[in-house]
A and B are shown apart, each in its own frame.
Chain A
Amino acid sequence: MTPPRPTKRPGSAAPGIKLLISAAALAGTIGGWALFTLKQEAAALATTPPSLALELPPLPTLVARSSAPEVAAVGQAAAPAPALRRVSAPAFSSAPAPVTITRSSR
């Protein structure tokens, strides 16, 4: 009569290994996607400025100066706008020195 062999619970370690493998696969997948996403964002940041920067007003020092000269004669009376000119700047002229000057009575 053979003694009874101890009962071996078949596959008693398999669920743990399977669980470990599954967890590792899941972690790998998630990690991979995370890395991929980070790379994509990094690439996008490198090629286009952040949208936030576009919405900011230009810095005062970077505002383009008007190309119009200070003394700028524009349309005459027939034009929609009257002829305008800044007084502070002398008019370009090749005129000789005036013989006299017209001004309000004094």
Chain B
Amino acid sequence: MTLRDFGLTELWFLVFSARWTLLLSLIAFAGGGTLGLLVAACRVAPQPFLRRLAAGWIRLLQGTPILVQLLLVYYGTSFIGLRPDAWMAAALTFVVSTSAFFGEIWRGCIQSIPVGQWDAGRALGFRFTGVLRLIILPQAMRLMLPPTIGYMVQIVKTTSVASLIGIAELTRTAVMVNTVTFEPVSVFGVVALTYFVLCWPLSLAAERAAARMDQRRNTGMVDLLRRANA
């Protein structure tokens, strides 16, 4: 016995709920990217205090599950008089979590620029922020591109966690449609495919960008060993 069949209406309803997944992803990317740049800058700042603060921020947020962070923000903030709705809680949690991951990814890129570039900038009279903005970041940008696109895939997938506090994005809608139609194969098949369509182009772009930079990955030894008569 099912309440309704899985027809075109349900299919459309399901696929179209991806707009909330996209909106959540955009919020996380824009907010987390901005905050993440600040975190990365603090991570390489001349002041030890700022460096330690940023390191602690990253360690704390990368050391706890995003679901627990989300539940803490959503259910746990009433004691300071906040009663955030699900969207506020999700947006805040995703922005904060994304900032830690971008902060750490970008720190690595920034630090792989030779120290001489910093010295030269300082010698020319630039302050820290000036060197970072005008000399280091433009060079690091090339390195930052592939892992940043790659992490965007993670962001899109992570927004599915928002379903657990009741936001009717793709995953939540799937559970609801599955409850009334009881056609798990079609419902979750469609949802998995929708996520795949959102994520795969990004994955390919990230891979291509990385391959352009890293020539040493293909040494030709795989083909050699495949053909060998050993």
Q: Do A and B bind each other?
A: no
Chain A residues at the B interface, C-beta cutoff of 8 Å: none
